[in-house]
Amino acid sequence: MSRQDRPNPSAPAAQRLRLRYAKRGRLRFTSHRDVARAFERALRRARVPMAYSQGFNPHPKISWIGAAPTGVASEAEYVEIAVVTPVEPTELVAVLDAAMPPGLDLLEAVVADGSGSLADRVEASRWRIELDGVSAELLGEAVARLLAASVVEVERLTKHGMRTIDARAAVVSATVHADVPGEPRPSGGPCGILDVVVRQTTPAVRPDDVLSALRVVAGLEPPVPAKATRMAQGQLDDSGGLADPLAQDRAVRQG
């Protein structure tokens, strides 16, 4: 067997790190596949000592957690990486963020505490959806109808064709407020803001599914495309809030 045909072994992982990053601006239109490629390039540029899988086609050990869909921004995306040499989380944030493209911003890194998986700590997302040209009053009426319904079915085009989804079943809570006055808007009119907590389901209910549900129950049609941003992910608490998925890792390190 020639050298190039041999498997490329990797040293065992010495440390796992959990990272929170943001997807902002024009990068919200980037697919998860392209985000993953940009992230791997940044890891190489920053010379992060990544652990690799075994076999003839080794890959860096990266685990993505519930990536945001194309077309939405996020302040709370999570990924876990494994390295062969321990690194200091604060130093990793500095060098890796500098290596990433504008709009893909590394916000935090913590050493994994070793218990459970990060995916097990994420069961819902909190979304901020801005509906330019729709007043808070009109949006509030539509949301009230959505919350009053027991089932709201919407259709989504998937790679297997059209699929019917019950969007109402995934909505944990929804509140409406008006945007800050004076901020310029494309429509020049009002802008209603919807803060909605959506439970992770299979298939996942996305912001556009929530908007489709508002159209079904109230005929709500924003004059311009809505802008959605994921603000948080985590486990649901008794009040419907979301627990920070990295809180346990921070507590172990500080203890």
Model pLDDT, residue 2: 41
Residues in the chain where the model's pLDDT stays below 50: 1-3, 5-6
Model pLDDT, residue 239: 81
Domain 3-120 architecture: 2-Layer Sandwich (3.30)
What is the DSSP code string of 182-220?
Answer: T---TTSS-EEEEEEEEE--SSPPPHHHHHHHHHHHH--
200-234 pLDDT, tens digit each: 988 889 999 999 999 999 999 999 999 999 999 99
If we measure between CA atoms, which residue out of 179, 169, 163 comes closest to residue 146? 169
Q: Where are the domains of the chain?
A: 3-120, 122-236
Model pLDDT, residue 183: 64
Model pLDDT, residue 208: 95
* Topology of domain 122-236, CATH: Alpha-Beta Plaits (3.30.70)
Model pLDDT, residue 113: 84
Does the bond joining 203 to the residue before it have cis omega, within 30 degrees of 0?
yes
Model pLDDT, residue 1: 32
Q: Yes or no: say if 231 and 76 are a contact pair by the CB < 8 Å rule.
A: yes
Model pLDDT, residue 11: 85
**Domains 3-120 and 122-236 in one fold:** yes
Burial of residue 95, with CB atoms counted within 10 A of its CB: 0-12 exposed, 13-18 middle, 19 or more buried: middle
Q: How far, in Å, CA of 155 to CA of 162, rounded?
A: 6
Q: How far, in Å, CA of 18 to CA of 81, rounded?
A: 7
Per DSSP, 150 falls in state S
What is the DSSP code string of 31-82?
Answer: -HHHHHHHHHHHHHHTT--B-B--SSS--B-EEEESPPPTT-EEEEEEEEEE
- Residue listed under structure tokens 């997807």: 23
